[in-house]
Amino acid sequence: VKRLNTRWLGKSIRVFDTIDSTSDYLIGIARTSPERGLVVVADEQTRGRGRFGRRWFSPRGSGVWMSLMIGDIRLSGDSPALSLAVASCIYDAIKSLYNIDLTIKWPNDLIYENRKLAGILLESVIGRDLEKYVICGIGVNTDLSDVDIPIELGANIISLAEITDAFVERDTLISEILNNLEFILDSLRDGSLNIRALLFGKDCLVGRRVRWYDNHYELTGTISGFREDGALILNCEEKEHCLVSGSIDIFI
């Protein structure tokens, strides 16, 4: 991988032509022979997935489809800090390489003009050594121009090639993401990272009226900001709610 300059993240990279899911592969590795910092990259995923088991469309040669094995960062509860930190790293990598103004949609998506460019999936697994590992799945659409996009996705996703009208070097993008991410992960682990500061100027929700929902509840209100741990602050009927999970719809 070109331009990779890390100490532990991505020092071992396994590359596949086709795989069912890079995250599922790493979950299996964690349970048998865990390796902190191991990265798996595939040219195609046949069963890529996002949050809530939704399909992640990842056809051959059209994106960065990769997963990373991260040691336990020991964040409190269901803190969205890690997901947002990863999103910020992808944001910074794309900004530095292509000078594109994206936004981060809490808790795990990168958006360009209301269409999804990239997403993140975090899953925890107990390794064979009885340590906790986080498997971080990353998907970035790089070039969907030669792909038959499913009708239900067509208006909702976008690729870097469509935005820049240029060839996207996936190896370079992978290196830039990993270089950014190692520093951020080390900062999260030692407690020196302020997620609220990291997201400043990057999110698309502050000041917007939204609908928040999960399996049991639904709230409508206005986003006023973030806590330092990445929790979303929703003002609803003169009450303040701090949200650590769930989904958001923005009222246009």
What is the per-residue pLDDT across 149-173, written as a single tens digit (0 to 9) for each?
776 777 789 999 999 998 999 999 9
Q: Which two tokens stand for residue 228?
A: 């330092």
Q: What is the mean pLDDT of residues 232-250?
A: 91
How is 137-153 classified by DSSP, letter by letter? EEEEE---TTS---TTT
- State how far the Cα of 141 lies from the Cα of 162, in Å rounded to an integer: 10
Q: Tokens at residue 92, please? A: 């910074």
Please tell me the distance from the alpha carbon of residue 123 to that of residue 173, in angstroms, as a whole number: 23
Percentage of residues in the chain having pLDDT higher than 70:
96
Report residue 237: phi and psi, to 5°: 50, 50
Q: Report the interhelical angle of 170-189 vs 81-98 (nearest 10°).
A: 140
Q: How many CB atoms lie within 10 A of CB 130?
A: 7
Looking at residue 138, its pLDDT comes to: 97
CA distance 233 to 212: 11
The one-letter code for the residue type at 224 is S
The residue-averaged pLDDT of 29-45 equals 96
Residue 118's SS3 state is strand
- d(Cα 10, Cα 69) in Å, to the nearest integer? 9
- What percent of the chain shows pLDDT beyond 90? 68
How far is the CA of 58 from the CAs of 15, 63, 165, 206, in angstroms? 15, 7, 20, 30
Query: Which strand (E) or helix (H) includes residue 156?
Result: none
Cα separation, 17 vs 165, whole angstroms: 26
Domains within the chain, CATH numbers bracketed = 13-199 (3.30.930.10), 209-250 (2.30.30.100)
pLDDT digits (tens, 9 = 90+) for 47-103: 888 776 778 888 999 999 999 999 877 665 567 899 999 999 999 999 999 999 999
Q: Can you tell me the distance from the alpha carbon of 93 to that of 72, in angstroms, rounded to the nearest whole number? A: 24
pTM listed for this prediction: 0.92
